[in-house]
Amino acid sequence: MTALRVLTVDDSRTILAMLHHTLSNAGFEVLQAEDGQQGLDVLKTQTVDVVITDINMPIMDGIEFIKNVRATGNHQSLPILILTTETSQDKRDQGKAAGGTGWIVKPFDPEKLISVIHRVVH
C-alpha cells in the first residue's frame, strides 16, 4: 500500500513541523507549502490525496487557495481540510463556501487530526 500524500499549507513553521511529525508518524507522506501560492505551485506538479491548509497566510490566503484549487480541472474531488484557530464560525463557513471539505481546529489533537483525515480520504 502506498502512503497517502498530504500537502500541508501554513505560514507557521511550528505548525508545519507539528503536522509533519504527526502525519509522518501516522504513515503519511507530507509535502509542505508556506502560503496559498506555494500550495498551488506544489499541486501543479505533485499529486496529493488530501490538503490541509491554514486560512490566515500572506501572499495568498487559505480561502483564495481553496477557490483556486477547486477551479482547477483535476482537483474538484481533492479533499481540503481547513486548519484554523478561528472561533468564529464565519471563517469556517467561508472556507466551506470556497470548497473546503472539512476543518481542524488548532491546537489540534493528533489523534483527532488523523481520524478527520480518514473521514475525507479513501
Partner 1 sequence: MSDLDDFKATYFDECSELLTELEEQFIAIEAGERDADRLNAVFRAIHSVKGGAGAFGFSALVGFAHAYETLLDYVRDGRIELTDEVVTLCIRANDIVTDHVAAARSGEALPADYGMDEKNRFDALARGDAASEDDAAGEPDEEFDLEFVPVMVNIGGNDDDFPEIPDTFDALPMEGESGHWEVHFTPHRALYARANDPLLLFRELAVLGEMTTKAVLEEIPPLSDFEPFAVYCSWEITLVSESLTEAMIREVFEFVEGDCDIAIAQLGVGTPPTAEVKAALVHHEAPPAPAVAPINLLELADDEVAHLLDFDIEPPAAPVKVKAEKAEIAPVAVAVVEAKVEDAPGLSFADIADSIKPAPVAKVPLAPKVVIAPAAAPDTAPGEEGERRSLGVQSIRVDLDKVDRVVNMVGELVITQSMLTQQMDETLRTRYTELVRGLEVLAQTTRGLQDSVMAIRAQPVKSVFSRMPRLVRELGLKTGKKIKLETVGENTEIDKTVIEQLSDPLTHMIRNSADHGIESPEKRLAKGKPETGTIRLSAEQAGGNILIIVEDDGAGINRDRVLQVARDKGIVAPDITPTDEQIDQLIFAPGFSTAEAVSDLSGRGVGMDVVLSNIKKIGGSVHVRSQTGRGTRMTLRLPLTLAVLDVMLVKVGDSPYVVPLSSIVETIQCSRANFERVPSGGQVLQVRGEYVQVIDLAQRFAMTTTTEPESRFVVLCEAEGSAKVALIVDDIIGQQQVVIKSLEENFERVEGIAGGTILGDGNVALIVDVQSLKTSIIHKNAA
User: What is the binding site for partner 1 (CB under 8 A)?
Assistant: 1, 3, 5, 11-15, 17-18, 20-22, 24-34, 38-39, 41-42, 44-46, 56-58, 67, 70-71, 73-74, 76-80, 85, 87, 96-97, 99-103, 105-112, 114-115, 118-122
What 3-state class would DSSP assign to 68? helix
Q: How far is the CB of 94 from partner 1 (least distance, A)?
A: 11
What 3-state class would DSSP assign to 103? strand
Q: How far is the CB of 22 from partner 1 (least distance, A)?
A: 6
Q: How far is the CB of 66 from partner 1 (least distance, A)?
A: 9
Residue matched to cell numbers 481540503: 80
How many CB atoms within 10 Å of residue 70?
15
Distances 57 to 34, 46, 69, 111 between C-alpha atoms, Å: 8, 21, 16, 25
Q: How far is the CB of 1 from partner 1 (least distance, A)?
A: 7
| Rounded CA separation 121/34 (Å) | 23
| Rounded CA separation 62/100 (Å) | 10
